[in-house]
Chain A
Amino acid sequence: AQTVTQSQPEMSVQEAETVTLSCTYDTSESDYYLFWYKQPPSRQMILVIRQEAYKQQNATENRFSVNFQKAAKSFSLKISDSQLGDAAMYFCAYRILFSGGGADGLTFGKGTHLIIQP
């Protein structure tokens, strides 16, 4: 079975500090994309960052960056200068691309609840 594992159910960090959320995944497919989504208490799922599996360079989006280790099937998210607005559930996910076109649905991990301490 294809899975995503987020080993940290909950993380806490001081405001302005840096935190890293871990994610490992297991797929036998070679063509896929990886994502981090955040879901604040309002429940709206928001894209944080995405990474194409064929790219070696790690994606960055302002204070958010990833450490993508394809051989290890690891995809961690680093949040620098944490802000109160970063408090949310963070979900790691991947989407397999089909060789004939199209893609599978997103496969999600169980999530990490991030708490920001003021």
Chain B
Amino acid sequence: KAGVTQTPRYLIKTRGQQVTLSCSPISGHRSVSWYQQTPGQGLQFLFEYFSETQRNKGNFPGRFSGRQFSNSRSEMNVSTLELGDSALYLCASTGEAATDTQYFGPGTRLTVL
């Protein structure tokens, strides 16, 4: 079974631009969660989508948004990029049960100049 895939793997943007990251979960998984990893703040939960609905969200500004499609693929969008948005963005997929383990993708490295 293929693992979680994320595209692109690397991205360079400038301040003020917007960016869209994509995540394809493990086949059969319907839940996708997004995390931001930075050296200063560590790993922080952004939001979770299940069956095309945002089920849960962390403490991030409204510039960070996401969506999920009927095939469970998810996209994350960041508008009006700031230097502090430079980070590794990790996506994790989970089965239907809340008790299922989250399996992570390789991440997208976003650099904002």
Contacts and interface: CB of A to CB of B under 8 A. Distances in A.
Given A97-B99, A108-B42, A102 B55 contact: yes
Interface string A38-62: 0000111111001010000000000
Interface residues of B, number: 26
A106 B108 CA distance: 19
Interface of A: 33, 35, 37, 42-47, 50, 52, 91, 93, 95, 97-98, 101-111
Contacts, number: 59
A45 B107 CA distance: 9
B90 A45 contact: yes
Contacts of A105: 33, 35, 45-48, 56, 58
A106 B42 contact: no
Do most interface residues of chain B lie in helix, strand or loop, or is the interface mixed? strand
Contacts of A45: 90, 92, 104, 107
B22 to A, nearest CB: 17
